[in-house]
């Protein structure tokens, strides 16, 4: 896998010929597995209740709420009919996803405030346990990717 195929690196704006690119190539296994993880949460073959376009919309929404417009735009292009959800102010009422979105927003932005009641609310909204785990993995992966991208930008001397 070349560095240009790894979203985490392209979104960070890394110059692939720079000294920093040479340094981090010592961790190319980690960078490649990071891309594999992105593929697993954004485009899994067993997507459960969350098709790929909805996942892309959620990823874009999470990136946007984290002020990462570049990453948001990257995911938004694959959001299809769910593109509206990539805007944080959209509640998801039209799509019947208000509970899912409110909990996605909380896990993404204030995970310390999540309690058992939130998981019970997802179950009451008809989300199966496997789908709750799938949703959580998507949001959790995005938290990781956003922070690796942000860190790489800081290392290049940019404001993240």
Please give the residue ranges that form the binding site for another protein (CB under 8 A): 19-20, 23-24, 26-27, 29-30, 33-34, 36-37, 40-41, 44-46, 65-68, 107-112, 114, 116, 118-120, 123, 129-130, 132-134, 136-137, 139-141, 143-148, 150-152, 154-155, 157, 159-160
Q: Could you tell me the smallest distance in angstroms from the CB atom of residue 19 to another protein?
A: 8
Q: Could you tell me the smallest distance in angstroms from the CB atom of residue 24 to another protein?
A: 5
| Rounded alpha-carbon distances, angstroms, from residue 84 to 25, 39, 56, 104 | 37, 22, 11, 15
Place of tokens 């939130």: 118
Whether 137 and 41 have beta carbons less than 8 Å apart is answered as: yes
Structure tokens at 112: 């310390």
Quick one: which of 30, 37, 39, 38 has its CA closest to 152?
A: 30
Residue 102 is given by DSSP the state: H
What's the CA gap between 129 and 132, in Å, rounded? 5
What's the CA gap between 8 and 88, in Å, rounded? 22
Return the number of the residue (20 or 90) whose C-beta is nearest another protein: 20
Q: Could you tell me the smallest distance in angstroms from the CB atom of residue 64 to another protein?
A: 10
Q: Could you tell me the smallest distance in angstroms from the CB atom of residue 94 to another protein?
A: 26
Return the number of the residue (70 or 94) whose C-beta is nearest another protein: 70
């Amino acid at each position: 896998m070349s560095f240009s195929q790894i979203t985490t690196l392209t979104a960070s704006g890394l110059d692939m010929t720079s000294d920093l690119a040479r340094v981090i190539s010592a961790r190319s296994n980690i960078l490649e597995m990071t891309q594999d993880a992105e593929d697993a949460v954004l485009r899994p073959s067993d997507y459960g209740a969350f098709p790929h376009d909805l996942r892309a919309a959620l990823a874009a929404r999470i990136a946007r709420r984290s002020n990462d417009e570049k990453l948001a735009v990257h995911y938004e292009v694959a959001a299809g009919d769910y593109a509206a959800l990539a805007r944080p102010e959209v509640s998801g009422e039209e799509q019947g996803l208000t509970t899912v979105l409110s909990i996605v927003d909380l896990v993404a932005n204030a995970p310390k405030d999540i309690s058992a009641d939130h998981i019970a609310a997802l179950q009451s909204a008809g989300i199966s346990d496997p789908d709750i785990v799938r949703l959580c993995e998507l949001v959790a992966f995005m938290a990781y990717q956003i922070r690796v991208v942000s860190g790489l930008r800081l290392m290049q001397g940019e404001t993240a």
